[in-house]
Chain A
Amino acid sequence: MMMAHRTEPLPQELETMAGSGSLTICMVEDHDEAYHAWKKAGFENRILLHFDAHIDFAWIAPTPDTLLEQPRLADVFSTLHRTPFWRLSEQTEEERTHLGNYIHQAIRANIVREFIWVYPEDPDQAEQARAVRSTLESLAAVAPQLFQLFRPADTGCFEGRIYGKRFLAIPYSAFSMQAFEEAVLLDIDLDFFIIRSLYSRHYPYADLRTPSFWLSPAEFVARLHASGLRYEFVTLAYSVEEGYTPLRLKFLGMELAQRLVRLLSAEEESRFEALRGLFSPIPKRDPESAVRRLEELIEDHPNDAALRFNLAMLLLERNDIPRAADQYRKAIEDDPTYRTRYNHPGPALLDLGLRREARDSCERMKKLDPHNPHFRLFEFETLIAEKDWAQAILLGKELLKDGVDHRVVRLGLAECCLQLHRYHEAWAALGPDPYMWASTPGYEIRYLWLKARVAEPLKRYEDALTCYHKLIGHGEHTPGLHLALARLYLRKRNFFKVRRHLAKAIRLAILARMLRWWRPQAIWDSKT
């Protein structure tokens, strides 16, 4: 994924000496930024200890050059046989690194020689282990030569080899039993503390309607210290922007970072305790006293955005809109990252198909920030989900006019126009260059499909052909794609290719069902 790799260093006081060696904590929003941080720091051959509710490992298909770079013909065949997935894209592997696959890239770049995934502890261990096993088996099924998964132990521990390097997946309870003779790269995603069950129907998100956490940073750090684990470099990802960590719980990241560096003062302890108390089910503090407590804390810490944002949310729940709006305004003044698309659970709920809850959530937040462009974007997405094409077109055009030139708007607008057979408008909405704004593989694929489908009725056959070929480059092999190619080659009178693509379409249509039954769905991208 081509994206700005932004690494937010901690405030200076946290980049201090801890224990005998220096400790660097790198706090990032998107987890793939960790890879760039390791690379920048020049790490090689390290053990990676990855605390996360998601494995963050997905295959990155090699480019054709990898094949042609082989010194001997036998090596070409062996590589072709060993790596059964190819993406004939012009983008390099590095450019295709994103938050769902950055560990693959770290292993390939020799930063990581041993990858240990510590997954959350769930009361139903058997169900949790089944979910982990299913994830690992589907990864191994894609490239059995590259990922050998050995027989799992009863404890939910899974061992294997990825590109010949040791891989281990263990539950949180088993991590302290591991002995490490060297300092490890500690990589933590905040959603590890929040998402507990990897088999729940909300996964890969937490249950966003009642945000809570199953493990506190204090317990985690105490256990980390008790295990005697050595670490010099910690990457800590908030993962708010994709909806995995509810924004209200972002403070856990700061608490964790501070605890990793030093002991907290009594005053800091009480501040974090007050925030944590808002989310603990037992004993539940009554809303009135929770509001009072936060207000007291804000008097002492007027620039703490986490306190203000949480207070705003509490007041919003009590329908005290003027006070809530005031606290929200001050929170985003102190920390503009609190005015994000994910400052309410709507987008994630929409992804889960919970449209009514998503709309309610958005309507509630609108009361605090009616002019936030993200809410109009959300409304636009909702209209598309509800197939209200005409209304969506009106809103989409309005958004573009107001300068919200987001990929969601362009793709959504094109889709709506396509549904209503307004091809010229759809073409105009898609614009000339897919790589300007369609930065993630998912969007790029959607863009190419839409463009090809719009180009055909507009008799732009060469454009359609180019789009379909690019889709093949993205690993899209579907009967529909080959049928479309056969149709276009028929227009070009290339009967040779028509026959080939028709044969492929038929073969894929017949085999697709069998393949689905025969092996699990390949996970190309575990998150996005």
Chain B
Amino acid sequence: MGLKDLIVRSGPKASEQYECAPHVKWRLLEGRVVLIDTNEGLFMHLNDVGSNIWQGLDGQKSVDQMISDLDNAFDAPSHRLRKHVLKFLRKLSLMELIRKVESPTV
């Protein structure tokens, strides 16, 4: 275990695509995402911004695209939005609620 491992886990990159992990069950209720991590037995609900980000995790859009979509939807400075989205995605990734979509090798 070294510094490299920690760097690898440091967070999602702008070009990467993410999707919801298969063991996570979720539903949109009254504009908010309610989710259950069946692996860990955890129930969670997200706020408006979190729900918006979660719905963008379709495995198609890159993190960059998601940020620009949110930039249009929310009235917040771009650099702050970017920082918060990346931090949120990192946490979701550490909790294993989302997984990276591997791009097909050419």
Contacts and interface: CB of A to CB of B under 8 A. Distances in A.
Interface of A: 64-65, 67-68, 70, 72-73, 76, 80, 86, 88, 469, 472-473, 477, 493-497
Given A68-B27, A72-B29, A73-B45, A496 B38 contact: no
B6 interface: yes
B47 to A, nearest CB: 12
Enumerate the 4 nearest inter-chain pairs by beta-carbon distance, A residue then B residue, closest first: A496-B94, A469-B39, A88-B38, A493-B5
A68 B41 contact: no
Interface in B17-53: 23, 25-27, 29-30, 32, 34, 36, 38-41, 43, 45
B22 to A, nearest CB: 12
B41 A497 contact: no
Contact of B94 (A73, A80, A473, A494): A494
A486 to B, nearest CB: 12
19 contacts: A67-B36, A67-B43, A68-B25, A68-B34, A73-B29, A73-B30, A80-B43, A88-B41, A472-B39, A473-B38, A473-B39, A493-B6, A493-B8, A494-B94, A494-B96, A495-B6, A496-B91, A497-B94, A497-B96
B77 to A, nearest CB: 28
Given A72-B29, A469-B23, A493 B9 contact: yes
Contacts of B34: 67-68, 73, 76
A477 B95 CA distance: 18
A509 B32 CA distance: 35
Contacts of B39: 469, 472-473
A495 B25 CA distance: 24
B56 to A, nearest CB: 20
Q: Is the interface of B mostly helix, strand, loop or mixed?
A: mixed
B73 interface: no
Contacts of B25: 64-65, 68
A72 B34 CA distance: 11
A64 B43 CA distance: 9
Contacts of B29: 70, 72-73, 76
A513 to B, nearest CB: 22
Contacts of A64: 25, 36, 38
A76 B33 CA distance: 12
B1 interface: yes
Contacts of B41: 86, 88, 472-473, 477
Greatest chain B CB density within 10 A among A72, A469, A477 is at: A469
Given A65-B25, A472-B41, A497-B96, A88 B36 contact: yes
Given A67-B36, A472-B41, A473-B39, 4 more contacts: A68-B27, A68-B36, A80-B43, A494-B96
Contacts of B32: 73
Greatest chain B CB density within 10 A among A64, A86, A469, A493 is at: A64
A527 B9 CA distance: 47
B95 A496 contact: yes
B52 to A, nearest CB: 16
A349 B42 CA distance: 41
A493 B1 CA distance: 7
Contacts of B5: 493
Nearest to B9: A493
A70 B27 CA distance: 10
Contacts of B91: 496
A494 B38 CA distance: 18
Greatest chain A CB density within 10 A among B9, B29, B30 is at: B29
Contacts of B40: 469, 472
Nearest to A65: B25
Nearest to B39: A469
Nearest to A87: B41
Contacts of A73: 29-30, 32, 34, 45
A80 B42 CA distance: 12
A132 to B, nearest CB: 33
Interface in B47-68: none
Interface in B74-106: 91, 94-96
A472 B39 CA distance: 7
Contacts of A68: 25-27, 34, 36
A65 B23 CA distance: 13
Given A64-B38, A469-B23, A494 B9 contact: yes
A73 B43 CA distance: 13
A316 to B, nearest CB: 52
A28 to B, nearest CB: 34
A497 B5 CA distance: 15
Contacts of B6: 493, 495
Contacts of B23: 469
Nearest to B8: A493
A159 to B, nearest CB: 34
A82 to B, nearest CB: 14
A147 to B, nearest CB: 22
Contacts of B9: 493-494
A473 B8 CA distance: 30
Contact of B30 (A65, A72, A493, A497): A72
A516 to B, nearest CB: 21
